[in-house]
Amino acid sequence: MPPPPEVSPDEAEARAEALAEQARQAQARRDQQAADDAPGGARVETAPPVQVVLVWQGIGALHKGFFSDPALVTALSADLAGLVASPANIYIRYDSRSFAGSIRLQLRPDTRLLPVGTHGDRVVALQDLAPITTALANYRSGVASRFDLRVESFSIGIESFRGPHSCLFGATGPAPPDGRVVSPCVEVDGQQRCGEPGPDGVAFDPAVAKIIRSCLDL
Protein backbone atom coordinates (compact mmCIF):
# COMPACT_ATOMS: atom_id res chain seq x y z
CA MET A 1 0.00 0.00 0.00
CA PRO A 2 1.27 3.53 -0.71
CA PRO A 3 2.05 5.72 2.30
CA PRO A 4 -0.72 8.08 3.42
CA PRO A 5 -0.42 11.48 1.73
CA GLU A 6 0.70 14.43 3.83
CA VAL A 7 -2.23 16.74 4.45
CA SER A 8 -2.28 20.45 5.14
CA PRO A 9 -2.12 21.52 8.79
CA ASP A 10 -5.56 23.16 8.58
CA GLU A 11 -7.20 20.04 7.13
CA ALA A 12 -5.48 17.74 9.60
CA GLU A 13 -6.34 19.86 12.64
CA ALA A 14 -9.99 20.29 11.64
CA ARG A 15 -10.33 16.53 11.24
CA ALA A 16 -8.56 15.92 14.55
CA GLU A 17 -10.90 18.30 16.40
CA ALA A 18 -13.99 16.57 15.00
CA LEU A 19 -12.71 13.11 15.92
CA ALA A 20 -11.67 14.27 19.39
CA GLU A 21 -15.16 15.62 20.04
CA GLN A 22 -16.66 12.29 19.00
CA ALA A 23 -14.25 10.50 21.33
CA ARG A 24 -15.13 12.81 24.24
CA GLN A 25 -18.82 12.18 23.77
CA ALA A 26 -18.25 8.43 23.65
CA GLN A 27 -16.09 8.58 26.78
CA ALA A 28 -18.72 10.63 28.59
CA ARG A 29 -21.29 7.96 27.82
CA ARG A 30 -18.94 5.23 29.10
CA ASP A 31 -18.20 7.20 32.26
CA GLN A 32 -21.89 7.73 32.90
CA GLN A 33 -22.59 4.04 32.36
CA ALA A 34 -19.78 3.10 34.75
CA ALA A 35 -21.15 5.49 37.37
CA ASP A 36 -24.63 4.04 36.97
CA ASP A 37 -23.29 0.50 37.35
CA ALA A 38 -20.99 1.20 40.33
CA PRO A 39 -22.24 0.23 43.79
CA GLY A 40 -23.13 3.10 46.08
CA GLY A 41 -20.18 4.57 47.94
CA ALA A 42 -17.60 2.77 45.80
CA ARG A 43 -14.11 4.04 46.56
CA VAL A 44 -12.13 5.50 43.65
CA GLU A 45 -8.37 4.89 43.79
CA THR A 46 -6.24 7.82 42.66
CA ALA A 47 -2.58 7.90 41.65
CA PRO A 48 -0.14 9.79 43.89
CA PRO A 49 0.81 13.34 42.84
CA VAL A 50 3.83 13.76 40.60
CA GLN A 51 6.91 15.72 41.66
CA VAL A 52 7.04 18.76 39.38
CA VAL A 53 10.41 20.33 38.55
CA LEU A 54 10.30 23.73 36.83
CA VAL A 55 13.18 24.48 34.47
CA TRP A 56 13.67 28.07 33.34
CA GLN A 57 14.94 29.54 30.09
CA GLY A 58 14.61 33.29 29.56
CA ILE A 59 12.13 33.76 32.44
CA GLY A 60 12.62 36.73 34.77
CA ALA A 61 12.47 36.62 38.55
CA LEU A 62 8.96 38.09 38.75
CA HIS A 63 7.45 35.52 36.41
CA LYS A 64 9.38 32.70 38.04
CA GLY A 65 7.39 33.57 41.12
CA PHE A 66 4.14 33.47 39.16
CA PHE A 67 4.84 30.05 37.67
CA SER A 68 6.04 28.74 41.05
CA ASP A 69 2.80 29.57 42.84
CA PRO A 70 2.33 26.62 45.26
CA ALA A 71 -1.38 26.16 44.58
CA LEU A 72 -0.89 26.07 40.81
CA VAL A 73 2.10 23.72 40.97
CA THR A 74 0.17 21.44 43.33
CA ALA A 75 -2.76 21.36 40.90
CA LEU A 76 -0.42 20.52 38.02
CA SER A 77 1.15 17.78 40.11
CA ALA A 78 -2.26 16.26 40.76
CA ASP A 79 -3.33 16.59 37.11
CA LEU A 80 -0.21 14.68 35.96
CA ALA A 81 -0.74 11.87 38.49
CA GLY A 82 -0.83 8.53 36.73
CA LEU A 83 0.24 10.07 33.42
CA VAL A 84 4.02 10.33 33.84
CA ALA A 85 6.52 9.17 36.43
CA SER A 86 8.25 11.55 38.83
CA PRO A 87 9.91 13.89 38.38
CA ALA A 88 7.97 15.73 35.69
CA ASN A 89 10.35 18.26 34.17
CA ILE A 90 8.39 21.29 32.96
CA TYR A 91 10.43 23.62 30.74
CA ILE A 92 9.16 27.20 30.80
CA ARG A 93 10.79 29.32 28.12
CA TYR A 94 10.53 32.86 26.81
CA ASP A 95 12.32 34.28 23.77
CA SER A 96 12.53 38.05 24.11
CA ARG A 97 13.45 38.43 20.42
CA SER A 98 10.35 36.69 19.07
CA PHE A 99 8.18 37.49 22.11
CA ALA A 100 7.17 33.83 22.23
CA GLY A 101 6.78 31.70 25.33
CA SER A 102 6.22 27.99 25.81
CA ILE A 103 5.40 25.48 28.54
CA ARG A 104 6.54 21.96 27.71
CA LEU A 105 6.76 18.70 29.56
CA GLN A 106 9.98 16.94 28.61
CA LEU A 107 9.16 13.25 28.38
CA ARG A 108 12.16 11.38 29.74
CA PRO A 109 12.76 7.79 28.54
CA ASP A 110 10.37 5.22 29.98
CA THR A 111 8.44 7.71 32.13
CA ARG A 112 5.17 7.75 30.20
CA LEU A 113 2.51 5.95 32.24
CA LEU A 114 -0.66 6.63 30.26
CA PRO A 115 -1.24 4.20 27.38
CA VAL A 116 -0.87 5.39 23.80
CA GLY A 117 -2.33 3.20 21.06
CA THR A 118 -0.79 2.21 17.73
CA HIS A 119 -2.13 0.38 14.67
CA GLY A 120 0.27 -1.22 12.23
CA ASP A 121 3.36 0.72 11.24
CA ARG A 122 1.61 3.99 10.36
CA VAL A 123 -0.99 4.95 12.95
CA VAL A 124 -0.30 6.50 16.35
CA ALA A 125 -3.18 7.50 18.64
CA LEU A 126 -1.84 10.96 19.45
CA GLN A 127 -5.14 11.96 21.06
CA ASP A 128 -4.26 9.60 23.92
CA LEU A 129 -1.77 12.30 25.00
CA ALA A 130 -4.60 14.79 25.66
CA PRO A 131 -4.62 14.36 29.46
CA ILE A 132 -1.05 15.71 29.54
CA THR A 133 -1.66 18.65 27.21
CA THR A 134 -4.86 19.48 29.10
CA ALA A 135 -2.94 19.54 32.39
CA LEU A 136 -0.37 21.92 30.89
CA ALA A 137 -3.10 24.17 29.46
CA ASN A 138 -4.88 24.33 32.81
CA TYR A 139 -1.60 25.30 34.50
CA ARG A 140 -0.92 28.01 31.91
CA SER A 141 -4.45 29.41 32.25
CA GLY A 142 -4.15 29.41 36.04
CA VAL A 143 -0.97 31.49 35.91
CA ALA A 144 -2.53 33.83 33.34
CA SER A 145 -5.76 34.42 35.22
CA ARG A 146 -4.07 34.87 38.59
CA PHE A 147 -1.00 36.91 37.64
CA ASP A 148 -0.47 37.94 34.00
CA LEU A 149 -2.93 37.47 31.14
CA ARG A 150 -0.08 37.54 28.62
CA VAL A 151 0.95 34.07 29.78
CA GLU A 152 -2.16 32.74 28.01
CA SER A 153 -0.24 33.20 24.75
CA PHE A 154 2.40 30.64 25.79
CA SER A 155 2.25 27.49 23.68
CA ILE A 156 2.03 24.12 25.41
CA GLY A 157 3.43 20.79 24.37
CA ILE A 158 5.31 17.59 25.06
CA GLU A 159 8.91 17.34 23.89
CA SER A 160 10.91 14.15 23.62
CA PHE A 161 14.48 13.36 22.65
CA ARG A 162 15.48 9.81 21.75
CA GLY A 163 18.94 9.23 20.33
CA PRO A 164 19.38 11.43 17.23
CA HIS A 165 15.66 12.17 17.01
CA SER A 166 13.36 14.73 18.60
CA CYS A 167 9.59 15.17 18.65
CA LEU A 168 7.34 18.00 19.75
CA PHE A 169 3.65 17.25 20.29
CA GLY A 170 1.31 20.22 20.58
CA ALA A 171 -2.36 21.09 20.96
CA THR A 172 -4.77 22.58 18.47
CA GLY A 173 -8.11 24.36 18.66
CA PRO A 174 -9.29 27.96 19.16
CA ALA A 175 -6.57 30.16 20.63
CA PRO A 176 -5.41 29.58 23.24
CA PRO A 177 -5.81 25.79 22.79
CA ASP A 178 -7.20 24.18 25.93
CA GLY A 179 -5.18 21.01 25.39
CA ARG A 180 -8.15 18.73 24.80
CA VAL A 181 -7.23 18.17 21.14
CA VAL A 182 -3.70 16.99 20.35
CA SER A 183 -2.44 18.34 17.05
CA PRO A 184 -2.06 15.78 14.24
CA CYS A 185 1.03 17.76 13.18
CA VAL A 186 4.20 16.72 15.02
CA GLU A 187 7.51 18.53 14.82
CA VAL A 188 9.88 15.67 13.99
CA ASP A 189 13.59 16.49 13.97
CA GLY A 190 12.71 20.17 13.55
CA GLN A 191 10.27 19.68 10.66
CA GLN A 192 6.49 19.75 10.92
CA ARG A 193 4.94 16.51 9.73
CA CYS A 194 1.15 16.35 9.48
CA GLY A 195 -0.61 13.01 9.39
CA GLU A 196 -4.14 11.99 8.41
CA PRO A 197 -6.44 11.72 11.45
CA GLY A 198 -8.74 8.71 11.57
CA PRO A 199 -10.83 6.79 14.11
CA ASP A 200 -7.79 4.80 15.34
CA GLY A 201 -5.31 7.67 15.41
CA VAL A 202 -3.14 9.68 13.04
CA ALA A 203 -1.61 7.97 10.00
CA PHE A 204 1.90 9.00 9.02
CA ASP A 205 4.47 7.80 6.54
CA PRO A 206 5.93 4.63 8.12
CA ALA A 207 9.38 6.22 8.55
CA VAL A 208 7.87 9.22 10.35
CA ALA A 209 5.61 7.02 12.47
CA LYS A 210 8.65 4.98 13.52
CA ILE A 211 10.37 8.07 14.91
CA ILE A 212 7.18 9.22 16.66
CA ARG A 213 6.76 5.81 18.27
CA SER A 214 10.36 5.89 19.49
CA CYS A 215 9.79 9.35 20.99
CA LEU A 216 6.88 7.88 22.95
CA ASP A 217 8.69 4.63 23.87
CA LEU A 218 6.17 2.56 21.93
pLDDT digits (tens, 9 = 90+) for 64-108: 999 999 999 999 999 999 999 999 999 999 999 999 999 999 999
Is the pLDDT at 3 greater than 80, yes or no? no
| Residue 17 within any structural domain of the chain | yes
| Residue 34 within any structural domain of the chain | no
* Range of weakest confidence among 37-51, 59-73, 161-175, 204-218: 37-51
Residues 6 or more apart whose Cβ sits within 8 Å of residue 39: none
| Domain extent for 57 | 9-22+49-109+116-215
| Residue 83 within any structural domain of the chain | yes
| Residue 38 within any structural domain of the chain | no
pLDDT at residue 41, as a whole number: 45
Contacts 24+ apart (CB under 8 A), 59-62: 59/92, 59/93, 59/94
Helices marked H in 68-205 = 70-79, 130-146
Compute the distance between CA of residue 103 and CA of residue 105 in angstroms, rounded to an integer: 7
How sure is the predictor about 25, in pLDDT bands with cuts at 50, 70 and 90? low
Number of domains in the chain: 1
Compute the distance between CA of residue 17 and CA of residue 29 in angstroms, rounded to an integer: 19
| Residue 207 within any structural domain of the chain | yes
Q: What are residue 151's DSSP bridge partners?
A: none
Indicate the average pLDDT of the chain: 89
